[in-house]
């Protein structure tokens, strides 16, 4: 994965993280950071590991590739991890949330 693809992941993750922060009526202070980090990790991890995995060797076409980043697997991985992280933050009991 090239620098341009990694930079794109970071920029998209920050934009989506801030959008989630603004959509919530009573946002937590750093909810955007949790969402942005999960999006970045999910996109990078899935694009780098699932494509070369022997478990998925039957799939020959991973879709559009941008500077070494497979966009479709990266978007799916980012979406799954972002939803899990956001639900974890939103549904956490108040006594477990950071002060």
Residue whose pair of structure tokens reads 């993280």 in the numeric block: 17
Give a yes or no: residue 97 inside a domain.
no
Strand ranges (E), the chain: 65-66, 69-70
Give a yes or no: residue 58 inside a domain.
yes
State the virtual CA torsion across 15, 19, 22, 26 in degrees, nearest 10.
Answer: -110
33: pLDDT strictly greater than 60: yes
Give a yes or no: residue 99 inside a domain.
no
- pLDDT class of 60 with cuts at 50, 70, 90: low
Higher pLDDT, 44 or 94: 44
47: pLDDT strictly greater than 70: yes
97: pLDDT strictly greater than 60: no
Q: What is the residue range of 53's domain?
A: 3-91
Give a yes or no: residue 13 inside a domain.
yes
Total domains in the chain come to 1
Give a yes or no: residue 49 inside a domain.
yes
Residue 4 tokens read as 């341009």
39: pLDDT strictly greater than 60: yes
Residue 80 tokens read as 């799954």
């Amino acid at each position: 994965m090239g620098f341009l693809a990694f930079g794109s992941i970071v920029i998209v993750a920050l934009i989506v993280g801030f959008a989630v922060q603004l959509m919530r009526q009573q946002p937590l202070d750093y909810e955007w950071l949790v969402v942005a980090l999960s999006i970045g990790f999910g996109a990078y991890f899935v694009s780098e590991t699932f494509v070369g995995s022997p478990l998925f060797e039957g799939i020959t076409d991973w879709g559009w590739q941008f500077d070494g980043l497979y966009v479709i697997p990266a978007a799916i991985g980012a979406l799954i991890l972002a939803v899990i992280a956001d639900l974890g933050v939103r549904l956490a009991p108040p006594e477990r949330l950071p002060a």
